[in-house]
């Protein structure tokens, strides 16, 4: 029994460590941090059955964005939206919506973005996905 307790403690510590270095790249709340494009494309991954998921970062300084999403679910499609942060009195605006079929991958390019605005991606639940956003 003592060995099992140690094993569980090590497993728990490993999970905490990997979550702290950014392995989980989607969250249940709207992002507040801005992605640094000098790091290259931003990769994301997530699963949720009840709550929508968001990228952990906002994206700015782009007039064109290429988004690639793989739906890792064999049960249903996932709806993905690129949204622009709006003023508090108007709310955020959806600028692109794509539905990725089950077990499918969709890549699309969004043009005519305002480089001064901030954008984020939302994945509507239920969702099982991985992918990335880049500036071509």
d(CA 131, CA 69): 4
Strand partners, 78: 100
* pLDDT the model gives residue 15: 38
**15: burial class by Cβ within 10 Å (0-12, 13-18, 19+)?**
exposed
* pLDDT the model gives residue 13: 41
Fold topology of 26-134:
Jelly Rolls (2.60.120)
Q: Please give the model's pTM, rounded to 2 decimal places.
A: 0.80
* pLDDT the model gives residue 83: 98
Number of Cβ within a 10 Å radius of residue 24: 15
* pLDDT the model gives residue 2: 56
Give just the sign of the alpha carbon dihedral 18, 21, 24, 28: positive
For residue 83, the SS3 value is strand
Could you report the average pLDDT of every consecutive run of 10 residues in the chain (136 residues)? 51 39 67 95 95 96 97 96 96 98 98 97 96 94
* pLDDT the model gives residue 136: 84
């Amino acid at each position: 029994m003592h060995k099992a307790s140690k094993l569980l403690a090590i497993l728990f510590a490993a999970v905490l460590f990997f979550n702290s270095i950014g392995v989980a790249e989607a969250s249940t709340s709207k992002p507040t941090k801005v992605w640094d494009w000098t790091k290259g494309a931003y990769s994301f991954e997530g699963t949720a059955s009840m709550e929508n998921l968001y990228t952990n970062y906002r994206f700015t300084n782009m007039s064109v964005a290429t988004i690639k999403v793989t739906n890792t679910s064999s049960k249903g499609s996932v709806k993905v939206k690129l949204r622009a942060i709006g003023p508090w009195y108007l709310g955020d605006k959806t600028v692109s919506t794509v539905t990725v079929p089950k077990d499918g991958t969709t890549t699309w390019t969004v043009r005519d973005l305002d480089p001064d605005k901030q954008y984020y991606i939302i994945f509507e639940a239920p969702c099982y996905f991985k992918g990335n956003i880049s500036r071509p």
